[in-house]
Amino acid sequence: MKNKGFTTQLVHADRLLNSPENGAVHQATNNSVLFEFKDAQGIVDVFQGKKAGHVYGRSSTGSAAALQNILNHLEGGVGAVTFSTGMAAITSTMLSLFKAGDHIIVSHFLFGNTRSLTETMESLGIQLSFVDVTDVRNVENAFRDNTKAVYLETIANPVTQVADLPCIGRFCQQKGLVFIVDSTMTPPNMFDAKAVLASLTISSLTKYLSGHGNVLGGAVVDTGLFDWRQFDNILDIYQGADPTLWGLTQIRKRGLRDMGATLSPQAAHDISIGLETLVMRTDKTCNNALRIASYLHNHPKVAAVYYPGLADHPQHFLAREYFKGYGGILSFDLVEDIDPIAFLNALELVICATHLGDTRTLALPVASTIYFESSEEERDEMGINDNMIRMSIGIEDSDDLVADFEQAFSQF
């Protein structure tokens, strides 16, 4: 399928990669928890990793394996593991690969729930340095002898800072660090993780990849660019014949199997269905977002707009070079005399909800919701003020979205 267009690959991926039975175009959803072996040696071989197969639904199913094949194909990787949520994917990866005494450089702009996870990691003895990842020099200055990895998001939520991806990737390669990139905001049709030398990509399948706000999921894909033989945290038992699979095997065993955040067969099926329209949805979303950002940028009742597609965004040219589109997330600050709660209540089409990557346009007040647990000082450091509204732009007709903003602004 490599010589086909991206949308063609998406539409036919399940049929061609997984060869469903009886002429089906989608892999059948298999809800069995247990799997019978007529020959007992078979279950031994699967348990010991000598043969591929399924032994227990918490560890693997045919439905999850089919989705993993698709996700790995889209990223051009060596393998993928799926989880019940995006946070489960992040947590399982971090706690599977790193231990007390290790040091990780992480983005200062991490989303709220991920930032909360880092507090748990620190309580377990994992050392963290929070840096501004829009400049590789900050990453270089944070490097220590015990540094194992760099973890960041392509586009930060909610202020849309874009990480210095290519330079950080080259630095990680030079130092032998695992470069973990959360690409949720930039799915594989928009961003080539291998081009910036990412080792692992993590994504919330809940967002753009499934796209309809009806299913939760997460995934980790190994790009094959990191040499796991130089990573001394891989347990001997997971050092199989193929070193490119060592990291993912440890994540699968110590993360998915031991921690149990399993993606259900029905969720895997729903996500694979949503994937088919990924390009059409993200193309429309990016076009809509750029129009809305430009409209807000010129509105007298808006103090600031944060969107990589605007020419005055600090990382606009980096985003233009490495992303195919500028994404569907944007934030803006209302002028001081407009209450964000009252403004959101005045919107009629835009939905007040916490989610991203939906087909519908969503908005919420940032400081009082997803960042209410952060101190005022922490919010200031991340560029979040009390009048900020975050939006996830959908696929509606852009004229209707502009009209909704017009009627809402007219009330103030």
* Element spanning 246, H or E: helix 246-250
Specify the pLDDT at position 161: 97
DSSP single-letter state for residue 255: I
Specify the pLDDT at position 21: 83
Is residue 106 within 8 Å of residue 151, measured between CB atoms? yes
Distances (CA, A) of 232 to 98, 178, 229, 247: 10, 12, 7, 11
Strands (DSSP E) along 147-237, which ranges?
147-153, 178-182, 200-204, 218-222
Specify the pLDDT at position 372: 81
DSSP single-letter state for residue 327: -
- Alpha carbon distance 311, 313 (integer Å): 6
DSSP single-letter state for residue 63: H
How many CB atoms are closer than 10 A to CB 347? 18
Specify the pLDDT at position 183: 98
SS3 for 362? Answer: strand
pLDDT digits (tens, 9 = 90+) for 358-404: 999 999 999 888 878 777 887 888 888 999 999 999 999 999 999 99
pLDDT digits (tens, 9 = 90+) for 165-177: 999 999 999 999 9
DSSP single-letter state for residue 375: -
Specify the pLDDT at position 62: 86
CA 330 to chain centre: 16
CA 16 to chain centre: 25
Half-sphere exposure at residue 327, Cβ-oriented, CA atoms within 13 angstroms: 33
Give me the helices (H) in 51-196, please: 62-75, 86-97, 112-123, 136-142, 165-175
Residue 158, preceding bond cis, omega within 30 degrees? yes
Report mean pLDDT in 10-residue bins for the chain, 412 residues. Answer: 84 87 83 85 85 82 92 97 97 98 96 87 97 98 98 96 98 98 97 98 97 96 98 95 96 95 95 96 98 98 98 97 97 96 97 96 92 79 90 97 98 96
